[in-house]
Chains A and B, each alone.
Chain A
């Protein structure tokens, strides 16, 4: 059996702020432009992709983030098995989307590390390293943004008030995690 090892070594806990990695989470990038693509997605996943910029939609098992006019990220709402990297959802989408030339489906499960950050100081933390204006974002559940945090590209998804899931490329994650801990220690 393979040993599954992520880049994050431990949780971060302060009063009013916790940071924890959720893993393994399936993540797929799906890309397409046409109405047929949107329809096929809806049929296969039983969910509607978000069409408004920087929003998300959720179904029972999956959540979709809008990343660009022809790009979405699908994530599993629950963790998946460490012992396999075959996903039924991916196989279905490859069969019904990319093989029929409607769009592209790419597994990015380990491209991104997912960190759950929650507590009343979430946005104080972001303010130390991100130029994005979170004033409206933080009050609208389901908001998504792609921005910079400590010079590193991240995707942020507001799941609840004062709770976000942050996605960062695996190679940057250890450094970002260290910086998050450093910044959080002085909030």
Chain B
């Protein structure tokens, strides 16, 4: 029979809405408003997992995002599975199935528990000293290590959930909706500032909304009642947007923050469908107010990790907020007064508090007095030296501390039965986001806390995240800071009457003494990674001094909780051991995310078809309809080849290539960059950006141009046409278009502002159909009968304006294939129809559409380079045997100076050559390395193959390659070593076909 530890109703739990869920295969129920943790505790389930290294039984320790132990696998063995979910944050819903992690076969009986007994062999850093012998066993060790690593299991199927992003701009962002955050948000919004208030919990109000102490009053009301009234007013304030279940993950520079908004994780399965699961908020705020509160510290003592050992504030929250008793024989162990408030609260609900163990000698505040008045036994100057109970705590042993707190006043031990030990070691301000943003901390000795000191601009911290722990300090200091920060004179909170206990004295002992030697104890500092105080001292002994090294050597603070509970203790133990001040040590670097983010949240809708942006040509639909296979060229989808009747790519390309040279081919060339250039200095501009000369290019003529970077290396090429006296159109490579335009515009604006030149991109404005082959002229003649296509009127490398059915177009007679060729440029929305008209006109000539693969082959037959294929940013024009295109007369052009560096003038640079194979049917692999000798080690690599095809027009394989000193090696035989064979090749002229260019005029 399941025990029910729900002892009281709570307005935050809807007991009319019963929810059934499963944990480790067993059915339980809870209520709407419960987290998995509160529901399990209500069912008296404490054992929820096993620790990482020692597989020690672990229970729920906290009530929030700092939870180290109660991390579970949700929806195991489904596409929705998620590892390492904190049970303290997971709101239960109908159908929830969660399982413990890091245990097999079950959390109650775990084979890995043997590690606990082997723990002397597994101290921090043991893996640096083991698994080395014998060396050939390493792969066996690796297999075991890999299977032991991690806690939860990654999903193996695609995530079916939908995630999204949202950009938000606001005047003021308030992070944290506890009492100080609510004051800040209300103040900002009522002063007409667009305000966004975020909180990671499902209800706002922090811990104050369930505070029910007689000793804490605001304007004579209970603090919780006062705050509830403020919250109800918040909803009606214009300018204020509140988001709950939203955790700020990262605080970047200039007030750019990322937050994760959970939208459906708390909903029943049938209500989640097709809704956004989580959303990444990308927030840009003019001002940020950090009100992230503070995290309770545990205490570090022997066996401080058993199920049933919990933070005192968590025990209070489970009782006051969730109405759940975490135990029936509760004991509190403390170094400050907050445990007394928790104990009193439990007592008032009828939950038994057996004792309070207080390491301080005395405390005389309202809380301590009330606790004693209620008859709760207080053991002053005592510490816990041991706990017992393997799967749930059942006993503690305490001893009286010496005055200095380092040993014992007497050897007497007292044993106390308990089933829940609530511990508190004070509070650590949550300064993670503050430091992520670049803020600097200072150390306050009084209560051993790091608090904000130097702020980046437009940011403040308030409340306990700023080191204020008492309510009057919180409210007074917050309002004072807000007035200055928001530049206002007064707030409605200026004259509140606040009563609260003062002088909460804290006594910090980072590592509480034990009656056993340290080596025989297990005082955990990092619960998740099983790092103990002994490990930290070992690291120091082994020479690691810096906190960053100790962290990594011991893995303290490196788990999914990022050491939220234990990092301060690690610092304290290091400081005490090394006899330095904690303030001098500093903290390790806080990095985002604050709590784990799913990949889905980070990626948003950039999945599937939206993973990358795709660009399509105007003829795209026609290509699809005609069964083209596509390839990605940058972001463009380009027709790659058009297989017919189950052709392979090779067969299709062979057919297309032959048809283009035998009769006619047509290529969609719309993707090439097109830049319109106008201005009286357009010619001069072209002279500066290309290597060759442009001033004398006649109107109506086209010229091929090569562009270099300032280092002299080729980075783009294309044909530019002179349309009119001061008007050119430049083409670029498909992939280089945006870069080229950006670079040219940059030069005009920054280097040559005196030039009268204007650039406009028209890449998308024009569709381009390129018709090539011996029958291309006949086809064009059918399309435009009135256009004079004679070589005299329309020679190669010229252009003509024309009209087809009243639509203006431009026709360039240029060729990338070496065939007689025309490129028709027409406004894009007529592009598909133009293509169809070309196909219709060309039908009698067997016009064959060809794709990029055939285009590559045909140009390679002519030895034409493709920038980015045959070049890689390290080739000069001379390397490419294109000396002819480098003007000797021009005063200057981009990259000219670099061509005369000693390095670029060397004779043995890699140079473009042609390669043929001894076996003409053997096609080389692109990228294959080229060597001169085979049986030499190490072998010198002379170069590599850049382009390689089987040419149906030459009936042999051809390749372009770059080879060291290649242009002087014509006829030389070389080798291409491949796996299992060596291929013999000969260096030849890179122009394989029609070297005289006769076919241009056929």
Contacts and interface: CB of A to CB of B under 8 A. Distances in A.
Interface string A83-126: 11110000000000010010111111111100000000000000
Contact of A104 (B194, B617, B760, B766): B760
B758 interface: yes
Contacts of B502: none
Interface in B521-566: none
A129 B613 contact: no
Contacts of A129: 165, 167
Nearest to B276: A186
A173 B805 CA distance: 27
A106 B764 CA distance: 13
Contacts of B806: 1-2, 83-84
A52 B763 CA distance: 28
A3 interface: yes
Given A2-B805, A128-B165, A129-B165, A108 B760 contact: yes
A25 to B, nearest CB: 11
- Identify the 3 closest CB pairs spanning chains A and B, nearest first: A104-B678, A104-B758, A111-B765
Contacts of B763: 111, 169, 171
Nearest to B614: A175
B616 A171 contact: yes
Contact of B613 (A85, A131, A151): A151
Given A5-B833, A170-B764, A172-B615, A109 B827 contact: yes
B425 interface: no
B830 A130 contact: no
B727 to A, nearest CB: 7
Contact of A86 (B167, B765, B808, B829): B808
A5 B830 CA distance: 6
A107 B832 contact: no
B581 interface: no
B765 to A, nearest CB: 4
Contacts of A7: 616, 618
Nearest to B194: A135
B403 interface: no
B166 A128 contact: yes
A171 B763 CA distance: 9
Contacts of A131: 167, 282, 284
Given A2-B805, A131-B282, A186 B162 contact: yes
Interface string A150-171: 1110000000000000000111
Interface stretch (A10-18, A38-46, A54-62, A177-185): A177-185
A132 B167 CA distance: 8
10 contacts: A2-B804, A3-B830, A5-B832, A110-B827, A111-B828, A133-B169, A150-B613, A152-B613, A171-B615, A175-B615
B191 interface: no
A70 interface: yes
B679 interface: yes
A20 interface: no
Contacts of B678: 31, 98, 103-106
Contacts of B833: 2-5
A155 to B, nearest CB: 13
A91 B314 CA distance: 77
A29 B679 CA distance: 14
Nearest to A4: B829
Interface of B: 162, 164-169, 194, 275-276, 282, 284, 605, 609-610, 613-618, 620, 636, 671, 676, 678-680, 726-727, 756, 758, 760-766, 804-808, 827-834
Given A85-B808, A103-B678, 15 more contacts: A1-B806, A7-B618, A31-B760, A85-B827, A98-B678, A104-B676, A105-B678, A107-B765, A110-B765, A110-B827, A152-B613, A169-B615, A170-B828, A174-B616, A186-B164
A106 B676 contact: yes
B276 A111 contact: no
A142 interface: no
Contacts of A84: 806-807
A53 interface: no
Nearest to B617: A171
In this complex, the member of B618, B805, B829 whose beta carbon has the largest number of chain A beta carbons within 10 angstroms is B829
A79 interface: no
Contacts, number: 140
A151 B635 CA distance: 12
A179 B828 CA distance: 22
Contact of A111 (B164, B764, B831): B764
Contacts of A128: 164-167, 605
A83 B830 CA distance: 10
Contact of A24 (B194, B762, B829, B834): B829
Contacts of B618: 5, 7, 170
Contacts of A170: 618, 764-765, 828-829
B875 to A, nearest CB: 29
Contacts of A105: 678
A6 interface: yes
A7 B614 CA distance: 13
A28 to B, nearest CB: 10
Nearest to A129: B165
Contact of A133 (B284, B764, B829): B284
Nearest to B833: A3
A170 B616 CA distance: 8
Contacts of A111: 761-765, 828
B605 A179 contact: yes
A7 B758 CA distance: 28
Contacts of A83: 806
Given A31-B758, A128-B166, A175-B615, A110 B829 contact: yes
A109 B807 CA distance: 13
Contacts of A133: 169, 284
Contacts of A186: 162, 164, 275-276
B830 A4 contact: yes
Contacts of A135: 169, 194
B593 to A, nearest CB: 20
Contacts of A178: 609
A29 B745 CA distance: 15
Contact of B764 (A24, A32, A112): A112
Contact of A110 (B282, B756, B764): B764
Contacts of A150: 610, 613
A136 to B, nearest CB: 10
B765 A171 contact: no
B238 to A, nearest CB: 14
A106 B613 contact: no
Nearest to A126: B167
A113 to B, nearest CB: 9
Contact of B758 (A103, A112, A130): A103
A22 B162 CA distance: 31
Nearest to A130: B167
A3 B832 CA distance: 8
Contacts of A134: 169
A126 B610 CA distance: 16
A84 B830 CA distance: 10
A119 B348 CA distance: 56
A172 B758 CA distance: 24
A24 to B, nearest CB: 7
Nearest to A28: B760
B849 to A, nearest CB: 18
A135 B680 CA distance: 42
Contacts of A71: 758
Nearest to A23: B829
A169 B617 CA distance: 11
Given A104-B679, A111-B761, A127-B166, A2 B830 contact: yes
Contact of A127 (B168, B613, B614, B761): B168
Contacts of A152: 613
B811 to A, nearest CB: 15
